[in-house]
Amino acid sequence: MVEKGQSPKWSRDTPWRQGHVLCAKACATLDLHHDEVTATCVVVISHDCDLANDNMDIEPHVETIIGRVVSKANGNYSWGKAPRTLHLQVQRNGHPITVELVSTRKHLVLKRDLANFVPDCTFYN
C-alpha cells in the first residue's frame, strides 16, 4: 500500500501489458495527445518482459504510441501490410472501432509516472 503523499512504485506485478491503452486521465496528466484529433488512443508497445523489469536504472521507461481513432479501416494499413502505419480494429465498450498507429508517434513514459494509473479496461481486441 502507498503511504499518503507518496507515489506508487513500479513493480514486477504491474497491471500494464503490451497492447494496453492508457485512460483519458493518464493521457491528460502525462500530456499525451494526438495533434490532429481529440479521439486519442495511447497504446503501450513495450514488451511484457521489459514492463516487468522493476530496476529503474536499467529500464525506466514504457514505450507507447500516440494513436487516434479513425472512422474506417483502410485495408492498405491492416494486417501489417504497411511498415509504418497500422489500422487496428478493436472493441471499446463492446463497439468496434479502428485505431490508427503510426510509428513516428512513439513516446517514452517514465514507469514511475505510469504507476499512478491502470489500463483503460474499456478497450480490448
Tens of pLDDT, residue by residue over 105-123, are 999 999 999 999 999 999 8
Q: Please report which confidence band the pLDDT of residue 39 belongs to, taking 50, 70 and 90 as the band edges.
A: confident
Of 42, 57, 45, the residue nearest 10 (C-alpha): 57
Count of helices and strands (H, E) across the chain: 3, 6
* Residue 18 domain flag: no
Domain containing residue 46: 24-124
C-alpha cell at 81: 501490410
47 in a domain, yes or no?
yes
pTM of this structure: 0.88
**Cell representation of residue 63:** 514505450
Identify the band that residue 83 occupies on the pLDDT scale cut at 50, 70 and 90.
Answer: very high
The total of structural domains in the chain comes to: 1
CA distance 87 to 85: 7
What pLDDT score was predicted for residue 6? 61
Question: Looking at the domain assignment, is residue 91 inside a domain?
Answer: yes
Give the Cα separation of 18 and 119 in Å (integer): 11
| Residue 110 covered by a domain | yes
In a domain, 11, yes or no: no
Q: Is residue 55 situated within a structural domain?
A: yes
Q: Is residue 12 in a domain?
A: no
| Mean pLDDT confidence for 64-86 | 95
CB atoms inside a 10 Å sphere around CB 105: 19
Tell me whether residue 5 is in a domain. no
